[in-house]
Amino acid sequence: MTIARWMPGEGPRDKLLERGASSLSDAELLAVLLHTGYRDCSALDMACTLLREFGGIGGLLRADQDSLLSCPGVGPVKYSRLRAALEIVSRQALEEVSAGSVLNSPSETRRFLQHHLGSRNREVFTCLFLDSQNRVQRCEDLFLGTLDGAAVYPREVAVRALQYGAAAVIFAHNHPSGVAEPSSADRRITERLQSALSLLDIRVLDHIIVGAGREYSFAEEGLL
């Protein structure tokens, strides 16, 4: 059943228009994105099933393409809508964090990184390159895979930092497991990066690990 065939005033889309998006449950918001269900299954029923299957919004957004496409009723169109919605949120957050003063607030930095990395189903090492006023000049995903499996090369980070004229950097990576605690490998690579960049007078402001709905800050924990 499509959202358009709900009786006036009873569907998620009507609720959104009348009361605002914040009034909708996770399932109702997802139903609006899905737009249609499939035979004998409404968009809302389908949304509820998907949320149960993947353990909520976070798990759904972290699911890979094959996992989602194997679910009844989820074809390329619905998958594309979900990924596009997530990408819009990520790009909007990047615009905010690049606006100039956002990085004066650690909470806003963590919020951006949660948007940028929280839904990834593979470990990604990201670097924010900042100028002398702590304004973001560039956000770049530099390495993919686990820190043990896909090496993080300080030389490449240094080359990028010099290329962008960075005075400081913030490192971040996600833990697809959802646990935002640093491993021994996380600690070692942070020390190596900090040592390498200090030779170039480039400050390492933080290394943030993004988990499921929470973040771990090396700076706040006194590890930098």
User: Angle formed by the axes of helices 26-34 and 12-19, to 10°?
Assistant: 110
Q: Where are the domains of the chain?
A: 3-74, 103-217
pLDDT for the residue numbered 162: 95
DSSP line for the chain: -BGGGSPTTTSHHHHHHHH-GGGS-HHHHHHHHH-B-BTTB-HHHHHHHHHHHHTSHHHHHH--HHHHHTSTT--HHHHHHHHHHHHHHHHHHHHHHTSSSGGG-HHHHHHHHHHHHTT-SS-EEEEEEE-TT--EEEEEEEEES-TTTS---HHHHHHHHHHTT-SEEEEEEE-TTS-----HHHHHHHHHHHHHHHTTT-EEEEEEEE-SS-EEETTTTT--
pLDDT for the residue numbered 204: 95
- Those residues whose C-beta lies under 8 Å from the C-beta of residue 186, and which sit 6 or more positions away, are 147, 173, 207, 209
| Residue ranges, the chain, pLDDT below 70 | 1-10, 93-94, 96-105, 146-150
Supply 28's token pair: 């109702």
Using CA atoms of 173, 174, 180, 185 in order, give the dihedral in degrees to the nearest 10.
-50
pLDDT for the residue numbered 195: 94
pLDDT for the residue numbered 5: 56
Is domain 103-217 annotated with CATH 3.40.140.10?
A: yes
Go through 22-32 and write b for each residue having 16 or more CB atoms within 10 A of its CB, e for each that does not: eebeebbbbbb
pLDDT for the residue numbered 163: 93
Residues 144-199 have pLDDT tens digits of: 875 554 577 899 999 999 999 999 999 999 988 888 899 898 999 999 999 999 99
pLDDT for the residue numbered 37: 87
Residue in the block written with tokens 């833990």? 175
pLDDT for the residue numbered 1: 47
Residue in the block written with tokens 């798990």? 59
